[in-house]
Amino acid sequence: MTATDHRASGATDGGGGTGRGEGAWAVLLPPGRLDAERLVHHDSLELPAGPPGRSPHPGDPVAVLADSPPRLVALGRVTRSGEGLLVAYTRRAFDEPVPAEQVEITGPVSPLDPVVFGQLADRLGPPTPRRTWLVSLDLPIEADTQAEAVRLFWSYVQELGPGELPTFVSPFGDELAMQAFVLGAEANQDPEEDD
């Protein structure tokens, strides 16, 4: 992803109109999916079909929730419904979810009053301005050639992944502010500070 590739519609949801006048929807992330969404950028969320009878239609707004306790982690719009539901993210809050205790969750996909959807969207506040970040992953690798070193690098990245490899990130122009991240959260990498 580059500085200009937002990988989303670029729209934000503030509770405006709905797709077919059906209202808004609350979808519950499947177990384990919150960690996956925090670790790797996804453009959309695919779920099983909605409830029988009244179901989401393309264009309907969606509040994506994590359970226990209910927290708003993203907003989106339905892009496909029927046998499966596809929600394109329009706003993400995976790192800083907001309380959503007023949402009654009746299943993986639940109808949501558009007024409540608007209140949830308002709780997120305005999107933070996009910045350019420097992200790096350095691994010392022993190999016979440069090409072999690159192949081993990608093997280690695939094998160890974000759960074991620290990734370093700093704002562009302020490299001294570099922080290490493991599992999508800040991680201290100074062994002397662990004592």
Q: How many CB atoms lie under 10 A from the CB of residue 142?
A: 7
Q: What is the pLDDT of residues 52-99, one digit of tens each?
A: 677 889 999 999 999 888 999 999 999 988 788 999 999 999 989 999
Residues linked to residue 65 through DSSP beta bridges, in sequence order: 28, 72
Helix, strand, coil content of the chain in percent (nearest 5): 25, 30, 50
Residues belonging to the chain = 195
Least confident of 59-68, 92-101, 158-167, 180-189: 180-189
End-to-end CA distance of the chain: 37
Q: What is the pLDDT of residues 22-46, one digit of tens each?
A: 589 999 998 888 888 888 889 999 9
Statement: residue 16 has pLDDT above 70: no
DSSP 130: P
Given this model, what pLDDT does residue 190 score? 67
Statement: residue 8 has pLDDT above 60: no
Per DSSP, the three-state class of 162 is helix
Measure the CA–CA gap between 160 and 145, rounded to whole angstroms.
Answer: 22
Q: Tokens in use for 15?
A: 């509770």
- pTM, rounded to two decimals: 0.75
> Which pairing describes strands 98-99 and 84-92: parallel, antiparallel, or unpaired?
unpaired
